Structure 1
Amino acid sequence: MCGIVGAVSQQNIVPILVQGLSRLEYRGYDSCGVAVYANGLQRARSTARVSELMDQIATTHLEGTTGIAHTRWATHGAPAVHNAHPHFSHGPGADAASRPGRIALVHNGIIENHDELRASLQAKGYVFQSQTDTEVIAHLVDSLYDGDVFEAVKAALGSLRGAYAIAVFCKDEPHRLIGARAGSPLILGVGPDHQAHYLASDAMALAGVTDQIVYLEEGDVVDIQLGKYWLVDKAFKPLTPAQRPVKTVHAHSGAAELGPYRHYMQKEIFEQPRAIADTLEGVNHIQPELFDGANASAARVFKEIDSVLILACGTSYYSGCAAKYWLESIAKIPTQVEVASEYRYRDSVPNPRTLVVTISQSGETADTLAALRHAQSLGTQHTLTICNVSTSAMVRECELAYITRAGVEIGVASTKAFTAQLAGLFLLTLALAQSRGLLSEAEEVRHIKAMRHLPAALQSVLALEPQVIAWAQDFAAKENALFLGRGLHYPIALEGALKLKEISYIHAEAYPAGELKHGPLALVTSAMPVVTVAPNDALLEKLKSNMHEVRARGGVLYVLADADSKIESAEGLHVIRMPENYGELSPMLHVVPLQLLAYHTACARGTDVDKPRNLAKSVTVE
């Protein structure tokens, strides 16, 4: 979602700001902008890509030693230049609309009480030039400014209700930059020899600039000046360096290079064998210690729990749905999976012996973090996260963690992060089974052997791409699709439908195949392709009956079948055979053709695969 970059330096920082925005493009955005101090407030904004913003900057020769930059994903106000960040204060005064005021500001998050603040500021003579909640903060800081922008920001924060990460500077104090966060991530980058300091919403934005990072905690405010910085906590109490230590973080910008691929999504689909190999690296034995946290022993925690609650959103939620089958069938532990955005808004019955498991690619997903905190507020002490970012808020706030090693994922539609999550969740299943005395030595050896074979098995599945492309040509002309699965593969059908709708804009739904007669069968015609995930498992014969129901109504089937499932191609029945039957781990293989189907269908329809409309990569606001 929205991205922030800011800097104070002795040199022109515009190239660094724009480079940072380029590295934040993967989060998703619909406008972007840069503001600097250059004998006053100056800015450039665009509703196109960062590359177009760069052309503006080159034309206007925008330069400055203090500045902020932003990629915006619209919440309040349409994607338009006047709504793009950075925002300037305007007023009060008769000529307020025609001249920028003192304050420049960028903001991630949502201010819930912006309407009442807007009315109050308009009554004081402030002129609004956008529909955003962000402009309210700029005017509010301006209204409280009395020669010290740090104090003005601190005073303004007390009036804000909602979530925010902000970066602010004032033209009257041009070598000073203020940052604050509550509910949205923000980091401080410490430059070499303190010659420059930076703010960003993501360490990747500062890759190649500095690897010295301070992670701001909830409620922190930071004051950055030339050669120095200091922080206060949510009570505005000064923080010592030990309380917010500088950490060395290697955010490799090279991981974001497209290479020979047409899109990042395609690249990331084909990176899955390596992502799984890296995620499982060093796993030679199943042991609780794989999930140890900084100050907690997984062996102790696993002995103290009697159930699992999984909290996640989107694709991560579907990985949790698949894990429920594993956890209950292999570890024999009752498991509940909740959509994180719904969980904290209903009355639930807390169990202090539950292990709360959060799943997030970024570790900053706002709804999942809020659900985690809600669970903790209900008395749940034992928490674990499956996450791809070791320095994220999710990892810092959970007792235990397993860090997947999928690498940077740029495409908004998650692919390799999903399969890496499944790998981590399967390991968690085995570790819990072992701690409960349900995993024999022979079973451990069998499972580890199967996991070690996953990268090779995934390579074989990726070789099916030409057959999937042939399916995609059919799908590109459709406007609706149905996905079916049973048991462990129903969540994979859900994920396949989500991928298709995310990037091709084809309406797609997924159902447990046994539910066909309970409603969805009414939709089936020759114009409605039906994708069926059909591994050779205990439910295959039941699934074949469901497939006959579709064909009897004139439906056209597209079936992912195992090599030994004896499902043959025929008129109205298209079959792609998977290379092998992979037992409990087959969801990790069957999802790959569905990813490729969505990708190639989107390519055939000419959509923006990596940046689908209306969507963002990292959802950091509710």
Structure 2
Amino acid sequence: MCGIIGMIGSGDVVPALIEGLRRLEYRGYDSTGIATLTGTGLERRRAEGRLVNLERRLAEVPLAGTLGIGHTRWATHGVPNERNAHPHASDRVAVVHNGIIENFLALRERLTARGHVFATDTDTEAVVHLISDYLRDGLGPDEAVGRALGELEGAFALGILVVGYPDRLYAARKGSPLAIGYADDAMVLGSDALTLAPLTRRLTYLEDGDWACLTRSGAIIRDAKGAVVERPISLSAVSGAMIGKGEYRHFMLKEIYEQPQVIGDTLNALFNPAERTITLPALPFALETVERVTIVACGTSYYAGLVARYWLESVARVPVDIDVASEFRYRAPPLQKGGLALFISQSGETADTLAALRHCKAQGLWCVAVVNVPESTMAREAHAVLPTLAGPEIGVASTKAFTTQLVVMAALCLALARARHAIDRATEARLSRGLAEVPARAAEVLKYDDALHALAQEVAEARDVLYLGRGTSHAVALEGALKLKEISYIHAEGYPAGEMKHGPIALIDETVPVIVIAPHDGLFDKTAGNVQEVIARGGRIILLSDAEGIAHVGAGVAHAVTLPVVDPFVAPILYAIPVQLLAYHVAVIKGTDVDQPRNLAKSVTVE
């Protein structure tokens, strides 16, 4: 959830640390801080809130050093303020941390009894004093760090400085992601490849339980047992130039407008236009042997999974189970060895989804990751990867990652249906043709931005908003409600349109906008009936449909947005875009922080 960076080099590392924190701010922005080792010892600068506050502090009280660590925080233990901001430090040690130390209370009690004084409410400070305690007992820094790591329970990625040792920077990971980078005359550590991209593309990903001592010329890596190990150096595909907002006001808007391109990029990697067929990357199992699919994901990715379940069952004729990752393991579902499990994640680091992957792998399932970060832990640990080529997504509210996930799942559905002989060649060609048209249709949808902006003025005045849809449109309704909640802080709910009469209809009055996602498909007539029920009760309908659907409903809707005609199979990909734009414009009108909404972080790396 938090983001960490560290660097040891021959020149001043502070500018590189600040740039790294800027790239990490999507992971947390409750507070920020850096620490360096200088000729006079350990120095820190910390600030509550956004990185700009830390930069202001540094302008007032400059800091320099050839060895340093930095942190941007999403609070778990302790309120977000300067006192609880990382790096945490004693007179001997400074630490930055992503994750949760589960046994910190027991450690704190033990260390307090030995005379250590704790200054914060965080779990991380226990790591500081634990290493300091071993140093006080006369251990060298390598042994003190190694002994301390062996006592920590939970999930963590750590960057550690030890006073008196300006020639070494320590890194450790258990559960939370961490990469080591090999730069020119410097070594770096960071939470992800995007953070380190301006400094180097030569990366080593620490494995679970690894810890390392970095010097200016390299790294010595040890496993959880303390044995020196070799880990491969890979060349990251992430570019240092892939982060600017360009002409757009917010990253979210930029990423919405990138969707025609990234949908096309993702599709082009899977679609053979000459034969109108899908070709998946090599898989370690035969698709025709798949008899059941388990889908696990969180948040927006879970809604992509709901669409995929509908597709896989109705088109490929494969039964599908789907769970939110935070519930999956605790429900302890019976799993069939040799079955297929799909794990959907933008970051590939989501803690609950990663834990579910490991559980399924241990149960003998084939595990396939649908991820946007090819260097992520999930991608490395799965048996196979179906990549979404969305590029870096900085806005906390996911947009282009969602639609590219849908493209990948649609492609998988067609490949699975073909392998199982669930569809004939003509049907495959028709559905593939519909999928191939999505990038162009997505560009058409963006032309309705002005109309959606006008609608946003009305929605922004509401306290409650209801989203309705049937079939795959139900998942889009859920996603639309989530987007509105995330960035505008308006209460919104997504419901199956047919369930409205089982409770939600009690909410309907002239103050509650009802946004209906209704492409003119086989379920449209039933949805149109639900629309009339809302109108009869004075509800304000905002209808998203194509021209035929809008004409069919007739008078009575408050507003209608006419979207392109597409094959119903791919409609959820297209209809996701207007609900994203509507939520964006509402948030801008309300003056919220669109890219970094309160209490949220991009990558949820703790359970």
For normalisation by structure 1, the TM-score amounts to 0.94
Show the counterpart of 1:63: 64
Distance apart, 1:251 and its partner CA: 2.1
Q: Does residue 356 of structure 2 align to residue 371 of structure 1? A: yes
For the residues of structure 1 that align with 2:30 and 2:211, how far apart are their CA atoms?
28
Once the two structures are superposed, the pairs formed by residues 530-609 of structure 1 within 5 Å of their partners are 530-565=514-549, 566-567=551-552, 570=555, 573-609=558-594
Instruction: Give the alignment of 1:295-314 within 5 angstroms.
Output: 297-298=283-284, 300-314=285-299
**2:411 matched to 1:427?**
yes
2:234 counterpart (237, 247, 250): 247
Residue 132 of structure 1 aligns to a residue whose secondary structure is coil
Distance 1:391 1:288 in 2: 24
Alignment of 1:7-156 (within 5 A): 7-38=7-38, 39-89=40-90, 101-145=91-135, 146-156=138-148
Q: CA deviation at 1:467?
A: 1.2
| Cα separation, 2, equivalents of 1:619 and 1:308 | 25
TM-aligned CA deviation for residue 289 of structure 1: 5.8
**Distance between the aligned counterparts of 1:501 and 1:216, measured in 2?**
36
Partner of 1:97: none
Q: Verify: 1:505 aligned to 2:474, yes or no.
A: no
Q: Distance in 2 between matches of 1:304 and 1:179?
A: 43
1:386 matched residue in structure 2: 370
What is the alpha-carbon distance in structure 2 between the residues aligned to residue 435 and residue 45 of structure 1? 57
Task: Name the SS for the 2:241 alignment partner.
Answer: helix
Unpaired runs of at least 5, structure 1: 90-100
Please show how residues 133-212 of structure 1 align to structure 2 within 5 Å: 133-145=123-135, 146-192=138-184, 195-212=185-202
TM-aligned CA deviation for residue 455 of structure 1: 1.0
Aligned position for 1:3: 3
Per the alignment, residue 401 of structure 2 pairs with 417
Task: Note the C-alpha offset of 1:400.
Answer: 1.4
AA of the residue aligned to 2:244? E
Contact kept, 8 Å, 1:286 with 1:430, in 2: the verdict is no
Tell me, yes or no, if the aligned pair for 2:467 and 2:515 is still in contact at 8 Å: yes
Deviation per CA, 1:524-543, whole angstroms, max 9, x where unpaired?
Answer: 11111111011111111111
> 2:249 maps to what in 1?
262
Q: Does the C-alpha gap of structure 1 residues 287 and 570 become closer, same or farther in structure 2, counting only changes over 3 Å?
A: closer
Give per-residue Cα distances to partners, 1:211-269, cap 9 Å, x unaligned. Answer: 110010100011112323110112211103xxx11111132232211111111101111
Superposed displacement of residue 287, structure 1: 7.1
Secondary structure, in 3 states, of the residue corresponding to 1:62?
A: coil
By how many angstroms is 1:104 displaced? 0.5
Partners of 2:367 and 2:589 lie apart in 1 by 43
With 196-205 and 612-621 compared, the bigger mean Cα shift is at: 196-205
Report the 3-state secondary structure (helix = DSSP H, G, I; strand = E; otherwise coil) of the residue aligned with 1:349: coil
Counterpart for residue 98 of structure 1: none
Structure-2 separation of matches of 1:221 and 1:562: 56
Paired residues of 2:277 and 2:428 also in contact (CA < 8 A): no
User: Which residue in 2 is equivalent to 1:93?
Assistant: none
Judge conservation of contact 1:7–1:199 (CA < 8 Å) in 2.
yes
The amino acid of 1:129's aligned partner reads A
- Distance in 1, matches of 2:286 and 2:542, equals 44
Q: 2:179, 2:203 within 8 Å by CA — same for their partners in 1?
A: yes
Work out whether 1:612 is the aligned partner of 2:597: yes
Distance in 2 separating the partners of 1:422 and 1:582: 15
Q: Which residue of 2 aligns with 1:95?
A: none
- Structure 1 position 280, deviation (Å): 1.2
Q: Is contact 1:569-1:575 (8 Å) kept? A: no
Amino acid corresponding to residue 488 of structure 2 in structure 1: S
Conserved 8 A contact 2:183-2:202: yes
Residue 461 of structure 1: aligned partner = 445
Contact 2:263–2:407 (Cα < 8 Å) also in 1: yes
Residue in structure 2 matching 1:275, options 245, 262, 265: 262
Equivalent AA in structure 2 for residue 25 of structure 1: E
TM-score w.r.t. length of structure 2:
0.96
Identity across matched positions, percent: 47
> Aligned partner of 1:605: which letter?
K
Provide the C-alpha distance between the structure 2 equivalents of 1:118 and 1:291, rounded to a whole number of angstroms.
Answer: 49
Written as runs of structure 1 = structure 2, the 5 A alignment for 1:394-413 is 394-413=378-397
Q: Decide whether the 8 Å contact of 2:295 with 2:343 is kept in 1.
A: yes
CA distance in 1, matches of 2:42, 2:423: 65
Cα RMSD (Å): 1.4
Q: Measure the CA separation in 2 of the matches of 1:545 and 1:446.
A: 29
Give SS of 2:593's match.
Answer: coil
The number of equivalent residue pairs is 600
What amino acid maps onto 2:385 in structure 1? A
Q: CA–CA distance in 2 between the matches of 1:475 and 1:465?
A: 15
1:442 Cα offset (Å): 2.7
Which residues of structure 2 form unaligned runs of 5+? none
User: For the Cα contact (< 8 Å) 1:207–1:250, is it kept in 2?
Assistant: no
Q: Partner residue of 2:344? A: 359
Q: Does the 8 A contact of 2:478 with 2:495 survive in 1? A: yes
Q: Deviations over 1:17-71 (max 9, x none)?
A: 1111111122232110000001211010111322331232233220011110000
Cα 1:139/1:569, change in 2 over 3 Å: farther
Distance 2:532 2:201 in 1: 58
**Cα distance in 2, alignment partners of residues 371 and 22 from structure 1:** 31
Distance 1:153 1:32 in 2: 24
Q: CA deviation at 1:570?
A: 4.1
Distance apart, 1:135 and its partner CA: 0.6
Counterpart position of 1:221: 211
Question: Shift in Å at residue 286 of structure 1?
Answer: 7.3
Distance of 1:572 and 1:272 partners within structure 2 = 29
Name the SS for the 2:168 alignment partner: strand
AA partner of residue 171 (structure 1): V
Structure 2 partner of 1:477:
461
Cα distance in 2 for partners of 1:269, 1:525 equals 32
